[in-house]
Amino acid sequence: MRLDKFLANNNIGTRSQVKEYLKGGSVTVNGTICKKADTPINEDSDIICFRGNQIVYRKFIYIILNKPGDIVTATRDKKLPTVMDLIKPLPAKDLFPVGRLDRDTTGLLLICNDGELSHKLLSPKYHVDKTYLVGMERKPSMSELEALESGLDIGDDTKTLPAKAVLREDGMLLLTIHEGRYHQVKRMLEAVDNKVTSLKRISFGNLNLPDDLEEGKWRELTEDEIHEIVFSR
């Protein structure tokens, strides 16, 4: 990998900023100042330092965010704040949200730079579980819960896949689905003459929203969490 690409990928700066840092002698490779942007380096074995601090290369970065409402799930938006605006400083520049939560939906959002994992988590053929805590306009009947679980016509060509619907004592619904259709949870509730009043994703595959992660906060996944979400695929 070129040295300037390595530095830019690790969010040291833009390519033009990186070149200025190099010219100024801010970067060393294996203890020697290096000023050439096109210097080839081995990101796995060479020791790269910026202003005396070693840059540890990580091919993939995985972040869990407790998404608040009124935030758009996108890398950028011309008018509205995005989930990426909440992650400061960015550990890498090529991060993206895995899937999409509606603007008013809160809860677990995975952000990474692992395209292969993202595809597997979102592909319909893998049937990855997604569990939501759903607030509703009214308490659903047993027959409506059974309808949610067995599959519904929500206006698409095919019915929804079988789901799991558990009504909690506090009146909230735990709904686990295996698809990612447009506004799916809201449309499923509408199909049984109900309405979603609040929606929070609490799990995605084997990854659960931590109780101690406040809304609007984020952290990188632990090694155990990475193993669960990556190697369980």
Alpha carbon separation from 99 to 31, 102, 110, 112, 121 (Å, rounded): 42, 10, 8, 11, 9
Question: Which position among 46, 77, 85, 102 bears the catalytic label?
Answer: 102
Q: Would you kindly state where each structural domain of the chain is located, as residue ranges?
A: 3-54, 62-123+207-231, 129-204
Backbone angles phi, psi at 189, to 5 degrees: -70, -40
Backbone angles phi, psi at 208, to 5 degrees: -110, 150
- What does CATH list as the number for 129-204? 3.30.70.1560
Question: 110 with 229: CB under 8 angstroms?
Answer: yes
Single out the residue of 108, 144, 132 nearest to residue 184, CA to CA. Answer: 132
pLDDT digits (tens, 9 = 90+) for 59-116: 899 999 999 999 999 999 999 999 999 998 888 888 999 999 999 999 999 999 999 9
Specify the pTM.
0.84
Average pLDDT over the chain reads: 93
pLDDT digits (tens, 9 = 90+) for 138-167: 999 999 999 999 999 999 999 999 999 999
Give, in words, the CATH class of 62-123+207-231: alpha beta
- What does CATH list as the number for 3-54? 3.10.290.10
Please, which residues bridge with residue 134 across strands? 173, 199
Note if 102 is an active site residue.
Answer: yes
